[in-house]
A and B are shown apart, each in its own frame.
Chain A
């Protein structure tokens, strides 16, 4: 499948044989095929490299147990869930193409041609509630169950809070509203509007928010997720502003979480939820995750 996507593929059987992979754009690892020791070796191997290729972990479920370690080591930027027949071919193709060609933005990439997302723009936290209600009503009308609707509402809420409070920075790059209580309204200038898009193809629902700041860094995202998955006493932040659980709640509520960053220019968050069946179908499906940064893919 990978060969069909990229052409040139080298295959090794063990982590020891990885050797010098600096000439490769992407290293895909069948995580479930590794022993615990090999998994630890692989993490150490990648964490120590100053110039490392993009790592893509393929896993049915095993990787879920190691997310604190993997996010904490900051090596985890891409994981795709696999089933008995392997990874979803279109998700693998999209991931590889984005890494190779740098065209990382767009909700449409995750849907077949012809699915037209609805688009709206918001500039104020006062618009958050009605935007969430609009998205919720859209998924209710297409027959999504109440529990999946609640997850989608959660994702919309966290995406919008992040775009309105965490993303905005001044011209000096200093965050404007990160420490503002989420009960306090904030407004953005019209040219700083947040673009919200959503669509469904009957199999999965997709939602994206795009801010014009590009202030999120992969390491911040990874650190938040690592702290949340460690589930220690510091899992919930007591500092002013957000609770530090937003990304964790988002990942837990999605089948596939994608973050696209063009540093200093824009950040797009994409959430995909399997709505083809019941909540159980969604819950048994595992999680996929990607961070793409334009500078890394150019």
Chain B
């Protein structure tokens, strides 16, 4: 599924909801101007896939936005985005990650679901609930990743501090 986005204007700046796959086809240039002089908040909960050329397009985009925006915030980062935050050194540019989506899997009924986790500024990475209630069968849905690895990028982000 190709990348899509929708913009919502707020008094402090814009919120851009990005979804689908970020690939070499992703045209992120149009979004750069939205950051001019204000805060750009990128809602990334709907991003399900990024390939290597998509990573490069993304890095170019956040670099350019970082030059013009007063602030860049990455919110509701999907597991696909979190994976890249942990793998690619400058993936967030000067942006701050303020929340992520946690993946859960219910082994009883096979349901996959996500839960929001706020990332507080500074300090240790927040605790990840090991299980939540499955929305489908009411059983226990387990966190579907390695907790330390998943939040690994937070330590580095806090060590580097705000731009």
Contacts and interface: CB of A to CB of B under 8 A. Distances in A.
Are A and B physically bound partners? yes
Contact of A233 (B56, B90, B107): B90
Contacts of B149: 283
16 contacts: A145-B110, A145-B144, A157-B51, A161-B52, A232-B89, A233-B89, A233-B90, A236-B55, A236-B90, A242-B53, A249-B87, A278-B105, A278-B142, A280-B105, A283-B146, A283-B149
A243 B87 contact: no
A236 B25 contact: no
Contacts of B89: 231-233, 235
Given A183-B24, A280-B146, A154 B53 contact: no
B24 A182 contact: yes
Interface residues of A, number: 33
Contacts of B110: 143, 145
The secondary structure that dominates the A interface is: loop
Contacts of A284: 146
Interface of A: 143, 145-147, 150, 153-154, 157-158, 161, 181-183, 231-233, 235-238, 242-246, 248-249, 252, 278-280, 283-284
B25, B51, B142, B144 pick with most chain A CB within 10 angstroms? B51
Contacts of B88: 231, 235-236, 245
A160 to B, nearest CB: 10
B49 A153 contact: yes
A249 B53 CA distance: 11
Given A145-B105, A248-B87, A182 B146 contact: no
A156 B60 CA distance: 24
B67 interface: no
B118 interface: no
A236 B56 contact: yes
Contacts of B90: 233, 235-236
Interface residues of B, number: 30
A232 B89 CA distance: 7
Contact of B144 (A147, A235, A237): A147
A179 to B, nearest CB: 13
A96 B70 CA distance: 57
B145 interface: yes
A158 B25 CA distance: 14
A150 B51 CA distance: 10
Contacts of B48: 146, 150
B52 A245 contact: yes
B23 interface: yes
Nearest to A235: B89
Nearest to A156: B51
A154 B49 CA distance: 7
B54 to A, nearest CB: 8
Interface string B69-97: 00000000001100100011110000000
A245 B59 CA distance: 13
B53 A182 contact: yes
Contact of A147 (B79, B142, B146): B79
